[in-house]
Amino acid sequence: AATPSGVRPGVHYTPQKNWMNDPNGLVFHGGRYHLYYQYNPLGTDHANMSWGHATSTDLLRWEEHPVAIRFDEKEQIFSGSVVFDELNTSGLGTDAAPPLVAIYTSARADGIQAQSLAVSLDGGYAWSRYEANPVLDRQSRDFRDPKVFRYETADEAYWVLVAVEAAERRVLLYRSDNLREWEYLSDYGPLGAVGGVWECPDLFPLEVDDEAGALRWVLLISLSPGGLAGGSATQYVVGEFDGVRFRPDVEPPALMPDAGAAELAAVDWVDLGPDCYAGVTFSGQPADRRTFIAWMSNWAYAGSLPSHGWRGVMTVARRLALRRIDGRARLCAAPVLPSPSGPLRAVGDGGTVRRPLSGATIVDLEVATQGVTRVRLGADERRVDVLVDADAGRLLVDRTLGAPAPASETDPPVANLLGGNVPFAVDRRVVIVVDSGSVEVFADGGSVVVTARADLPVESGIEIAGPADTRVGLTDI
């Protein structure tokens, strides 16, 4: 059957052409969301890493711009972040026109990975490298992915950088007054899932919902391979950051690198699916608007998925929150989407709703308290089934017949039965975003998320079957 994997997604960012992986330098500035990303300006494979660039005002429709920072014979531009240096602490702008500063990993031709700066004085479009790069060099071959944020207390303020010693499964923290000179603070790990290299860390505060003043810090650590569903995935840890050191509230289990699915289930995952990797959050936004975007792929098969002249896609943007569920602060993610087109309607006596699937659609469900609700996306022979049992507290996304094809035989295995326990502590809503090439499922206020690439036929449908009081709303976007 014809498959739409070559049809460009409606609300997921893809570059016009060539290879893309991690989001980089996410920053809200000048009224626009800037998305930079790992990009090969010359082809559809992971090579010649540079920072591509796109902007958006609503996080749904993106406009692509010329390459922001380009590789050269000395270095590739690996992942990193961007901050608005409003006080011109770096001296790289002027007090009247403060700079945007990118902190990226120079993946050098000699094999060393060190941290470097680039500067933009025009609001993020034109970038030039700082002449005294690198600014932080440990002579390591696996020191990368710096995420920088401003740490402020009542009596001091400075920059904090988190990066990884990837092969040692350690997150390293540094501080600086000017973004150019960095002083080591502390490190974290190895702890939790360690079955692969650690990459793309992020560290940020969030208030626990409904608990005024209850500020916790969230540490995101991407891991590849060794994720819950196989291959790449992102774990998170909630704890305290005192300006020097991060301490988890509940210490994650110390797992072996070959830990199986049962042990991995004891770790907190940003997403239970196989296609949410290297996700980080925007800088330049108020504390109660933490927005996250990830690369919607998996290193296990990213290089063997078909290329359509472009290869690589981002997840929808997600607003993050912390909610106390069963005594523990849990990370919840809500997709940033247009409002639903109308109120939810009961599926009624027949218990089934059918309609064609065209482009990007939001399926908004309120699942029955008893019985199983099943959403079938696609057609009989190529489909993804989402099964929700609110009573038993289970979510299963079955993409056995809809996995992105064809993985090469040498690719490491990635699961097609995805999901797990859902507390249904927030509500019984399940939001499914289906677009060309992917399905994203947000359950229970986003305390459980499953993101999966999928290959569904062009002539496709949505069929929702469940108890009569299952309520549903469908919105085309």
How far is the C-alpha of 259 from the C-alpha of 264, rounded, in Å? 6
Query: Considering beta carbons, is residue 78 or 182 the nearer one to ligand FRU?
Result: 78
Least separation, in Å, of the C-beta of 255 and ligand FRU?
A: 21
Output 50 or 447, the one with its CB closest to ligand FRU.
Answer: 50
Beta bridge partners, 78, equal 105
What is the binding site for ligand FRU (CB under 6 A)?
21-22, 38, 49, 78-79, 105, 144-145, 199-200, 278
Closest distance between ligand FRU and the C-beta of residue 7, in Å?
25
State the catalytic residues: 22
Residue 78 or 204: the one with the smaller Cβ distance to ligand FRU is 78
Q: How far is the CB of 400 from ligand FRU (least distance, A)?
A: 26
Q: Which residues contact 325 (CB under 8 A, 6 or more apart)?
A: 423, 425, 426, 447
Least separation in angstroms between residue 415's CB and ligand FRU is 20
In the bound complex, what is the minimum distance in angstroms from residue 80's beta carbon to ligand FRU?
A: 8
CA distances from 396 to 399, 420, 442, 454 (A): 10, 6, 12, 15
Question: Which CB sits closer to ligand FRU, 77 or 329?
Answer: 77
In whole angstroms, what separates CA 125 from the centre of its chain? 23
Task: Provide the pairing of β-strand 143-152 with 394-398.
Answer: unpaired
Between residues 145 and 364, which has the closer beta carbon with respect to ligand FRU? 145
Question: CA-to-CA distance for 320 and 262, rounded, in angstroms?
Answer: 26
Determine whether 146 is exposed, middle or buried from the number of CB atoms within 10 Å of its CB (0-12, 13-18, 19+): buried
- Return the number of the residue (104 or 442) whose C-beta is nearest ligand FRU: 104
Rounded to whole angstroms, the Cα distance separating 271 from 402 reads 19
State the nearest-atom distance from the C-beta of 23 to ligand FRU, in Å: 10
**Is 278 strand, coil or helix?**
strand
Nearest to 420 by CA among 271, 319, 277, 295: 271
Q: What is the DSSP letter of 210?
A: T
Cβ 21 vs Cβ 297: under 8 Å: yes
DSSP label at residue 189:
-
